[in-house]
Structure 1
Amino acid sequence: MVLGSGTTRRRRLLGVLLLAAVVLVTAGGVAAVRLAGDRAPDRGAASSAPPSPSAAGSPTTSPSPPPPPPGADITGPLNLLLVGVDTRVSVPGWEPHADAVLVLHVPRGLDRAYLFSLPRDLVVDIPAFPKAGYRGGRTKLTHAMSYGSRVPGRPKQPNTAQGYELLRSTVSGYTGLRIDAGAVVTFNGFDRLVDSLGGVDLTIDQRVVSRHRQPDGRHRKPGAGGYVGPQMVYEKGNRHLTGWQALDYARQRYIPGGDYSRQRHQQQLIRALVRKILDQDLARDPDRVQQVADALGDTLIYVGGRRLVDVAYALGGLPADRFALVGLPGGSVGSGGAYRGEQLTSVGRRFLTELRAGRAEQYLKANPTLRVKT
Structure 2
Amino acid sequence: MSIASPLRFPDTGSAPTMTKRAWWLVGLNILLPGSVQVLAGDRRLGRLGIIATGLLWVLALAALVVYLIWPTVIYTMFTQAVSLWTAQIVLVLYAVLWVVLTLDTLRLVRLVKTKANARGWIAASAVVVLVGLTCTAGYGSVLAGSARGALGDIFSAGPSQPPVDGRYNIMLLGGDAGPDRDGLRPDSMSVVSIDANTGQAVTIGLPRDLDPVPFPSDSPMHTLYPDGYGFKGRCDVDVCQLNSIYTEVTVYKSDLYPAATSQNSDPGIESMRDALEGATGLTIQYYVLIDMQGFADLVDALGGVDITVKDKLPIGGDENLNGVVDWIQPGKQHLNGYYAQWYARSRHGTSDYDRMMRQRQLQDAILKQVNPVNVVSKFEGIADAGTQVVKTDIPQSMLGYFVDLGMKTRKLPVKQLELVPPTIDPTHPDYTQIHQLVRDAVAPATPSPTSSK
Distance 1:361 1:308, change over 3 A: farther
- Among 126, 137, 142, the residue aligned to 2:243: 142
**Alpha-carbon contact 1:193-1:243 (below 8 Å) kept:** yes
**2:175 pairs with 1:79:** no
Q: Give the aligned partner of residue 278 of structure 1.
A: 371
SS of the equivalent of 1:318 reads helix
Percent identity of equivalent pairs: 20
Q: Which has the higher helix share?
A: 2
Distance in 1 separating the partners of 2:419 and 2:205: 10
- Among 413, 416, 421, the residue aligned to 1:331: 421
In the alignment, structure 2 segments of 5+ residues that lack a partner are 1-70, 85-158, 231-239, 256-260, 448-453
Q: Give the aligned partner of residue 193 of structure 1.
A: 298
**Alpha-carbon contact 2:420-2:426 (below 8 Å) kept:** no
Distance in 2 separating the partners of 1:347 and 1:237: 37
**2:223 pairs with 1:119:** no
**2:149 pairs with 1:105:** no
Q: Give the aligned partner of residue 48 of structure 1.
A: none
- Among 268, 272, 288, the residue aligned to 1:183: 288
Alignment of 1:2-17 (within 5 A): none
**2:327 pairs with 1:233:** yes
Cα drift, residue 186 of structure 1 = 1.3
Distance 1:182 1:38, change over 3 A: farther
**Alpha-carbon contact 1:264-1:327 (below 8 Å) kept:** no
SS of the equivalent of 1:105 reads strand
Distance in 2 separating the partners of 1:359 and 1:251: 33
**Alpha-carbon contact 1:260-1:329 (below 8 Å) kept:** no
Q: Give the aligned partner of residue 6 of structure 1.
A: none
Distance 1:275 1:149, change over 3 A: same
Distance in 2 separating the partners of 1:77 and 1:103: 12
- Among 56, 60, 80, the residue aligned to 1:36: 80
Distance 1:180 1:148, change over 3 A: same
Cα drift, residue 73 of structure 1 = 7.0
**2:184 pairs with 1:96:** yes
Q: Give the aligned partner of residue 359 of structure 1.
A: 444
SS of the equivalent of 2:402 reads helix
- Among 152, 158, 167, the residue aligned to 2:272: 167
Distance in 1 separating the partners of 2:430 and 2:343: 24
**Alpha-carbon contact 2:204-2:419 (below 8 Å) kept:** no
- How many positions carry a matched residue from both structures? 280
Cα drift, residue 146 of structure 1 = 1.3
**Alpha-carbon contact 2:75-2:401 (below 8 Å) kept:** no
Cα drift, residue 313 of structure 1 = 4.3
**Alpha-carbon contact 1:184-1:301 (below 8 Å) kept:** yes
Distance in 2 separating the partners of 1:122 and 1:251: 19
Q: Give the aligned partner of residue 61 of structure 1.
A: none
**2:394 pairs with 1:300:** no
Distance in 2 separating the partners of 1:229 and 1:188: 21
Distance in 2 separating the partners of 1:130 and 1:173: 9
**2:252 pairs with 1:252:** no
Q: Please give the per-residue CA displacement for 1:22-48, whole angstroms capped at 9, x wherever unaligned.
A: xxxxx99865442434769xxxxxxxx
Q: CA RMSD in A?
A: 4.2
**Alpha-carbon contact 2:254-2:268 (below 8 Å) kept:** no
Distance in 2 separating the partners of 1:340 and 1:141: 10
Cα drift, residue 280 of structure 1 = 3.6
- Tell which structure's C-alpha radius of gyration is larger: 2
Q: Which has the higher strand share?
A: 1
Distance in 2 separating the partners of 1:277 and 1:175: 29
User: What is the TM-score when the length of structure 1 is the normalising length?
Assistant: 0.61
SS of the equivalent of 1:330 reads coil
Q: Give the aligned partner of residue 19 of structure 1.
A: none
Structure possessing the higher relative contact order (Cα contacts under 8 Å, 6 or more residues apart): 1
SS of the equivalent of 2:224 reads coil
